[in-house]
Structure 1
């Protein structure tokens, strides 16, 4: 719950901006510009405090700016010290409920930047021994936002927050990979039919199937780590459009140095500040990586739903943990609710990727004013993917069991078994066997012996599970 949803004393302070005066409740650390945003943007109802990493990153940026302005002699050391202390408190989460503006907003992020400026300024005023709103002693714009614009402070904070959020995403992804790999080891001995186009193909092990899931998801760790590095390039000191107006020539280098120290990230200054201020290519890359991960997760969940379908009229090769009753009318029905919810998460992430792409394309001239929706989509996708993968791991993958006999029976009853005999009988003879099995309902094993095409000893050797699930030379002995 944020501060605007709590009972208030009724006491107010008077603040003003270029549009006029407004009474601000004394409990609010934010001020009049944040109040304007609250009036204007009832859009997503998802507010800044939903994403604590973003608030933490805003505090990092404001602290680095204050330290830089102090070092350059632009900011009184006493005021700078109060701002730095306030930033530390914000970073620790003590004022999260004061970050109340909607994530989706007009103004290219100005409302977010001013929400941070006002909260930090008013807390700094208290540290200095003044009342909230006494801005002549510490002003949101003149002091907290000194040498900055929304157009450099906001995207820099976004990038820092995204790096930290992606690190958490990668951690959850690695845990999920480990869970699939563990099941791959557990099911290594379970022979089953592989399928292509939903038709019987050739034998494999259930372990190989789960190891493949682990491998395809492990690839996404590399992709996420690779494009996360794009966020290390920031445009602090670019101010409004990248020309650096109202900033000291030494500001960028010093500010980036302080950011490195505060965040412990190897942050660097962009080579071309005008390009860096208007470009959103890094966001597109990261969104695409999230979409790729989501698509893979959804495909795997489709497989899990198929493999567990039934239990009597479906594949029924595996059992998913029963999490809740599946029907209000059909007794005994249990649905694959965990894979289903991950499917839906994937659809949302894929939709968010399209939004990010369109918003990035919509940038005009020296600024992309659509960054707020880009940020909202990226953070939402990361949060949903983390929650979805953790849920999939804990409530589904770790509890999966195999129906070994069903898997084995499907192999020996399948016409696809004939593929294993193709090197020994030839394609034409194997085709005739498949046709006869389809027509008569007899098994391939039975027909081979019936037609004396192979001895039982040789047939059993070829059809040993361990001989059908890996490369093997024709003359190899059992």
Structure 2
């Protein structure tokens, strides 16, 4: 394959002529064989870089900072990125030193060489369109990378919100389906008071709905950007009005209500929005893992556990125990949740480790957020499709557990008092008699009174009981 020679201030390198990236990208590929995941694994980030570079070119043309023919070619090259093209030209590893400079230069080189091609010039003929002088005009990695990062995060969070709402709808449907299934509620793994299985599943839907709201709140923080800050927030090497014009262009291109940070120096090093977003993701992960723990407990058995619900039988569960089926889908959600929680620690430390006017650790923050969001989004859909939708209730078993439960004695408190209720509970535990049988045998209440008080349906909502 014909090759070209490119140079930077460190020296020269031979570049295959069929690729659009250049010497700085190739150096980064050599320097950072870290995660094995190229930045192209997050196409939203590549598209976001296309939006930012196009907005910059439009502003620079209006200000006369770059010639119109070059700016127009840059815009057309950016359109390729926005449309999802040239992804294979972004081989730089997600985890990299340099605060994202390698990602920015990868984009600059690809856009420059594609623009050269569109103008009829060979790749590498940077006199006609230069990665730094033209594509990166009025910019620094330190405002381009965070802005593109925020745009891409905003996009991916929209997908996560949809996945959460999809899972929420699954639990809500089960809440309606199980509305008449009487069961025993439990606290600290001990019998408490009756409820319905529908109430239990409706509560899962409600808690996921709360998390969608928290996610949208964190998502809104990403609309404040530092485009125009250049190196540290002073706007050096950009023309007056560039920050305003580039942000206006980016707002029009994306349709997002983007605003320029009121203090670009602060905005260039601040990673607080990522920390807050990571905290929301951890909150979601913790609650989903708790729900999956419940599903595993409620379906435990099938003969020696709680056995109140049945999870779909997805695959054989043992290489040695025939017939065993494990709750593999809740288990995978647990593990994804643990991963999210661990990533939150990484993001916290990366945010804390920025010094002075820049946080150089943003690449690992980006890697953790993008991979975590993608995994969580996919797992939410798997949890509904391969578990929640197929859950069935063991109605008779649930009701029989209620009838035998000592927890029914709670309903007698308003009528016979705590001391007598506690004594009945103790005796029932020691003798194996049901609370119902004990109360009748001792003549504490009439059968009519007892039936009214111990009707499970009457114990699942507030009601006045005459003492």
Is TM (by shorter chain) over 0.5? yes
**Partner Cα distance (1:439, 1:212) in 2:** 34
**Partner Cα distance (1:456, 1:24) in 2:** 91
Structure 2 residue corresponding to 1:102, chosen from 93, 98, 108: 93
**Partner Cα distance (2:176, 2:457) in 1:** 15
Q: Secondary structure at the match of 2:183?
A: strand
Q: Deviation per CA, 1:314-354, whole angstroms, max 9, x where unpaired? A: 00000111111101110000000000000000010011011
Q: Which residue of 1 is the match for residue 84 of structure 2?
A: 93
Tell me the TM-score normalised to structure 2 length.
0.99
Whether 1:271 and 2:262 are equivalent positions in the alignment is yes
Whether 1:300 and 2:284 are equivalent positions in the alignment is no
**Deviation at 1:283?**
0.7
**Deviation at 1:160?**
0.5
Q: Deviation per CA, 1:124-157, whole angstroms, max 9, x where unpaired? A: 1110011111111111111110000000000000
Q: Which residue of 2 is the match for residue 441 of structure 1?
A: 432
**Deviation at 1:424?**
1.8
Q: Which residue of 1 is the match for residue 123 of structure 2?
A: 132
Structure 2 residue corresponding to 1:318, chosen from 309, 313, 322: 309
Q: Does the Cα contact within 8 Å between 2:32 and 2:92 map onto a contact in 1?
A: yes
Whether 1:397 and 2:388 are equivalent positions in the alignment is yes
Q: Which residue of 1 is the match for residue 137 of structure 2?
A: 146
Q: Deviation per CA, 1:42-80, whole angstroms, max 9, x where unpaired? A: 111111111111111010000000111011111111111
Q: Which residue of 1 is the match for residue 417 of structure 2?
A: 426
Q: Deviation per CA, 1:348-402, whole angstroms, max 9, x where unpaired? A: 0011011001000001000000010011111111111101101111111111100
**Deviation at 1:122?**
0.8
**Partner Cα distance (2:17, 2:412) in 1:** 83
Aligned positions of 1:154-233 closer than 5 A: 154-233=145-224
**Partner Cα distance (1:459, 1:54) in 2:** 65
**Partner Cα distance (1:124, 1:278) in 2:** 32
Q: Secondary structure at the match of 2:302?
A: coil
Q: Which residue of 2 is the match for residue 260 of structure 1?
A: 251
Structure 1 portions without partners, runs of 5+: 1-9
Structure 2 residue corresponding to 1:81, chosen from 72, 87, 90: 72
**Deviation at 1:475?**
4.3
**Partner Cα distance (2:259, 2:104) in 1:** 21
**Partner Cα distance (1:249, 1:467) in 2:** 72
Q: How many residues of Structure 1 are paired with residues of Structure 2 in the alignment?
A: 467
Q: Which residue of 1 is the match for residue 397 of structure 2?
A: 406
**Partner Cα distance (2:68, 2:454) in 1:** 81
**Deviation at 1:28?**
1.2
Whether 1:376 and 2:384 are equivalent positions in the alignment is no
Runs of 4+ residues deviating >3 angstroms: none
**Deviation at 1:94?**
1.3
**Deviation at 1:465?**
2.5
Structure 2 portions without partners, runs of 5+: none
Q: Which residue of 2 is the match for residue 363 of structure 1?
A: 354
Tell me the TM-score normalised to structure 1 length.
0.96
Over aligned residues, Cα RMSD in angstroms?
1.0
**Partner Cα distance (1:475, 1:205) in 2:** 25
Q: Which residue of 2 is the match for residue 465 of structure 1?
A: 456
